[in-house]
Amino acid sequence: MTLLALKHVSRIFGKAPNNQVTALRDISLEVNAGDYVAIMGESGAGKTTLLNIIATLDQVSSGQVLLNSQDVSQLPEKEAAKFRRRNLGFVFQNFNLLDTFNNQDNIFLPLVLDRQPLSLMKKRLLPLAQQLEITDILQRFPYEVSGGQRQRVAAARALITQPQLLLADEPTGALDSQNSQRLLNAFEQINQAGQTILLVTHSAATAAHSRRTLFIKDGIIYHELFRGQQSFDSYLQKINNSLLALMTTERGGADVDSSQTGQKHFV
């Protein structure tokens, strides 16, 4: 079942004709419920703009963004804020936790803002805390724990609302390799339990935990890989090969256009 659909989405910054920057160009894509999609590309390729549009933090210049068939691309800010709180979960590179709240209260915050009862918060917290291995730090403050623990607290905060879609923007960017692996293992388990995940990353090793990887270049979806039954190492190698081919085309190398959608499929 299609959960998220983008239809001919473009985003242009700047109003004066001679001072416009096109960040996204006629992007169409679908994400099924339960999918795990990684988005890769060079800085400035349009990854974060795409994520912000899906998150209703930015508006399209043209096109539609549909979540469960609801067009969210032009929601007024007040309605967009409620929509984000009830339907989307966010994990950021720099955690975005409040040091004046302990970790448990940071996790509870989106449900507090949505005026949910404390009994519901506690019921949802326990399995999340166990899964993310943060049970023993709930009463501590963010500044008292490691970066990896802070990111897992942030993941719990994103997931406690039981969002339709989890959006992660470079979630391993501030973590060492061991803590990155722990977070990504948790993401895989959460995805296997049915959570849909859309993740932006520069890291091929991070993307290789996904089921599907999109490569963005110059504001378009340039290439796409599916993991299928491949091993982690095999899928990682294909991602690395695609990144290398993408860099080669930027220097004027050859590629093969094998579709009518504008996507390039590397050989």
Which residue stretches of the chain are H helix? 47-54, 77-87, 103-113, 118-131, 147-159, 177-192, 204-207, 232-250
Position with higher pLDDT, 181 vs 74: 181
Average pLDDT value for residue range 134-138: 96
pLDDT for residue 200: 95
Does the pLDDT of residue 208 top 80, yes or no? Answer: yes
Query: At a CB cut-off of 8 Å and minimum separation 6, what does 96 contact?
Result: 90, 154
pLDDT for residue 262: 42
pLDDT for residue 265: 40
Query: At a CB cut-off of 8 Å and minimum separation 6, what does 24 contact?
Result: 9, 10, 11, 46, 49, 50, 53, 219, 220
Q: Which CATH number does the domain 2-250 belong to among 3.30.465.10, 3.40.50.300, 3.40.50.1110, 3.40.50.10140?
A: 3.40.50.300
Q: Please write the tens of the pLDDT for every residue from 112-128.
A: 998 999 999 999 999 99
For the chain, the average pLDDT equals: 89
Does the pLDDT of residue 267 top 70, yes or no? Answer: no
What the block records as the tokens of 121 is 């918060």
Does the pLDDT of residue 253 top 70, yes or no? Answer: no
Distance CA 153, CA 134 (A): 7
Distance CA 79, CA 6 (A): 20
Strand, coil or helix: 245: helix
pLDDT more than 70, % of the chain: 93
Q: Domains of the chain: which residue ranges?
A: 2-250
Q: Which of 12-21, 63-72, 151-160 has the lowest mean pLDDT?
A: 12-21
Distance CA 199, CA 27 (A): 17
Does the pLDDT of residue 193 top 80, yes or no? Answer: yes
Strand, coil or helix: 229: coil
Q: Which of 11-20, 79-88, 253-262 has the lowest mean pLDDT?
A: 253-262
Q: How confident is the model at residue 249 (pLDDT cuts 50, 70, 90)?
A: low
pLDDT for residue 94: 87
Does the pLDDT of residue 251 top 60, yes or no? Answer: no
Distance CA 204, CA 237 (A): 9
Taking alpha carbons only, the member of 159, 189, 175 closest to residue 90 is 159
pLDDT for residue 264: 42
Residue 143, Cβ density class (10 Å: 0-12 exposed, 13-18 middle, ≥19 buried) = exposed
Q: Please write the tens of the pLDDT for every residue from 40-49.
A: 988 888 898 9
Average pLDDT value for residue range 245-258: 57
DSSP state of 260: S
Distance CA 225, CA 164 (A): 23
